[in-house]
Structure 1
Amino acid sequence: MLGHLGFSYVGLIYLLMLWIPNTIWSKNKPIDYNTTQENKILLLFERVGQVCCTCSILIFSDYNITPFSAWSWWIIASFFLMILYEISWIRYFIHEHTEENFYRSFCGIPVPGASLPVMAFLLLGIYGKVIWLTTSAIIIGIGHIGIHIQHLKTINYR
């Protein structure tokens, strides 16, 4: 439940799946993007969750692939969500770079840029039976999804 210390190559793959599109996004932000109204408490949850997720996904080997079992469906579902996350980024990059396009739902999933990776990390934590990643995913979820929902509400009130 606490996790076995050791490097997780699966964790590294997940972080690359997060960082690469986010790095590209930092150079292609929505033309109307505004962070001045972000809730400071949600931002604190987001930052703490980011640090905790990054550490716990790399330092526990419990996420690495094991022989297939019924428990493997957790990592399959988690990876599927990360693939959807990548596809949602592609959708953003090939369309107009606006906040409305950035925050619109994808496959019925609201604020996919926040909710998909958070759900993927949560399921990966369940797969690895690591309470640290599961808890970290909840913490980042409160902040990151909360901030994205705030931005979406601002767009809807314009």
Structure 2
Amino acid sequence: MGHLGFSYVGLIFLLMLTIPNLIWIRHQPKGYDSQSENKILLIFERVGQVLVTCTALIFSDFNLRPWSAWTLWLIAAVILMLMYEGWWVRYFRSQKTLRDFYSSFCGVPVAGATLPVIAFLLLGIYGKVVWLLISVVILGIGHIGIHLQHRKEIY
């Protein structure tokens, strides 16, 4: 279920998630409008954001442990977060259109939403913390759902 305690790995993942989003505030895509977002998906997204943030920080199970087969889950999660950072680099170098923002990356659809959600899911598997898994599912329904909704509107 999880051991309470600070997770520096969770903090690193959250920083990798938050810093580009803070930069994005000043570099939003031309024509971006969040007013039309589905309110139910928005509730899932917001609740999921709070839950993921809290659970990623308060369970020490995400911190590094001696090598085991479970370490592969952490490695996969780190790779996905690095891909997420790569997606941001590509976005910030682009024309910053809606198509750029809702684009795929390395075959992953709506990568700006999908990559971090899957990365946190894998982190939950690595830590064997069911609370993060539940939180990520809630976040994913809202966050990926909203991104797919926006993507559908522009294509």
TM-score by length of 2: 0.99
Deviation of the 1:39 alpha carbon: 0.2
Q: Distance in 1 between matches of 2:6 and 2:122?
A: 19
Aligned to 2:25: 26
Matches within 5 A, 1:28-107: 28-107=27-106
1:97 is paired with a residue of what secondary structure? coil
Q: Find the aligned partners of 1:119 and 1:57 in 2 and give their Cα distance.
A: 14
Deviation at 1:35, TM superposition (A): 1.0
The amino acid across from 1:99 in the alignment is L
Q: Distance in 2 between matches of 1:52 and 1:99?
A: 28
Tell me the TM-score normalized by structure 1.
0.97
The amino acid of 2:82's aligned partner reads I
Give, in angstroms, the shift of residue 4 of structure 1. Answer: 0.2
The residue type equivalent to 1:89 in the other structure is W
The aligned counterpart of 2:110 is 111
Quote the RMSD (CA, aligned, Å): 0.5
Shift, 1:36, TM fit: 1.5
Q: Deviation of residue 32 (structure 1)? A: 1.1
Q: Which runs of 5+ in 1 are unaligned?
A: none
In the TM superposition, residue 107 of structure 1 has moved relative to its aligned partner by 0.6
Q: Which runs of 5+ in 2 are unaligned?
A: none
Q: Give percent identity, aligned residues only.
A: 64
Deviation at 1:104, TM superposition (A): 1.1
Q: Which runs of 4+ in 1 moved over 6 A?
A: none
Mapping 1:5-24, distance limit 5 Å = 5-24=4-23
Q: Once the 2 structures are TM-superposed, how far is the Cα of residue 31 of structure 1 from its aligned partner? A: 1.1
Displacement of 1:37 after TM fit?
1.1
Distance 1:59 1:104 in 2: 33
The number of equivalent residue pairs is 155
Q: Distance in 2 between matches of 1:116 and 1:105?
A: 10
One-letter amino acid of the structure 2 residue matched with residue 108 of structure 1? G
